[in-house]
Amino acid sequence: MKITDVKTYLVNANEGTNWSTRPRGRNWLFVKIFTDEGVTGVGEGGGWPFIVEKAIQELKYFLIGENPFAIEQLWLKLYDVLHGHGATGAVRGGVISAIDCALWDIKGKALGVPVWELLGGKLRDTIPVYGHASTPQAAENLIDRGYRFFKCSPKVETIKTLREAVGYEVEIGVHCHAEFTPSAAIQLGRGCEPYRPMFLEDPVVPENIEAFAKVAEKVAIPLATGERFASKWAFTELLARNLVDIVQPETTRLGGITELKKLAAMAEAQSVTVAPHDGSVGPIIEMANVHVLASIPNCIFLEHKADDVPWRLDVAPGAVPEANGEIRVPDAPGLGVDINEKVAADHPIADIDAFEYSFRTPEQIQQSFVR
């Protein structure tokens, strides 16, 4: 079997959501790899979808004629081709992620088995998901739908109000968006401790290892991070120094299924759990995450956007919907999904001048350093 072509699909997913701080808003980048035996595979890349798409269109000529079963070899080939863009670059990670997922899909379909079977077998039949809620009403809506986990905005008053409303039968995380200084993060964490958060996510800029260590030393809450990282190597020191309790890789920029499986093993060796970032990406990478999480022992849950564009599942036939706070692990060959080209074409990316951007003011940025 040989690769004959690689096609990209850039899909606008802004509807009903304010993504005005992103160039061109929120987009999903899907790919489909074609072979001379008629077997195709689909994947999804991220980081900066518009730029990653252009990179894939240029780099596909390094894949044509190759054996799609040689997943590790092709991962390394693309990594080498892109070495000039930095070992941890998001564009590099986005390209490799999309191609890697599609190659696993081809292999599973060709062999007639789901990807989780190729990864060592299935340890669980469903993957728990967590949502987003910062008001009692939003939290109650999730709980009524079967959610047992969600995360909220980084204010002590917010988690206090949520605990008073929903009690301690559900778990609540606190997402800080890496906007705090170490001292402010410590103050926030200590204030949240009485309300037993399940994690404190990105309390400080995660690339600043010493700042992260300062928070870990002073706060008695599990720390989580990883969505900004574009390689497994970015997690090395955090894991080696036992500074993180939950890794949250973004699979569309990490390097795909291959790297997520490797990172999960790295985390397992340090008694760390895995909960991929999944709040803004599309249905194809969500299915890829589900396959990997089904195959690893240290899965805890998967982030999930509970209310997305209404056509989310239409653009990826076969994607399994969340039900009762879980996603069922599919049994279809490969990832079990495809791309509906008509639905994708019905949602083209927006022009760059179609958005009124709403970045934080200098005053708002300053406040994040002192609160």
Q: CA 292: distance to chain centroid?
A: 12
Q: CA 367: distance to chain centroid?
A: 28
Is residue 277 among the annotated active site residues? yes
277, 291, 304, 347: which is the annotated catalytic residue?
277
Is residue 177 among the annotated active site residues? yes
In this structure, what token pair is assigned to residue 99? 């191609």
Please state, in angstroms and rounded to a whole number, the distance separating the CA atoms of residues 62 and 78: 8
Beta bridge partner(s), residue 10 = 29
83, 132, 175, 177: which is the annotated catalytic residue?
177
Name the residue with tokens 């790297």.
Answer: 259
Asked whether the beta carbons of 263 and 238 are under 8 A apart, the reply is no
Asked whether the beta carbons of 305 and 279 are under 8 A apart, the reply is yes
Beta bridge partner(s), residue 57 = none
Beta bridge partner(s), residue 28 = 11
How many Cα atoms sit within 13 Å of 134 on the Cβ side?
A: 10
Strand, coil or helix: what is 33? strand
The phi and psi torsions of 187 (rounded to 5 degrees) equal: -60, -45
Please state, in angstroms and rounded to a whole number, the distance separating the CA atoms of residues 102 and 119: 15
User: Annotated catalytic sites, by residue?
Assistant: 177, 277
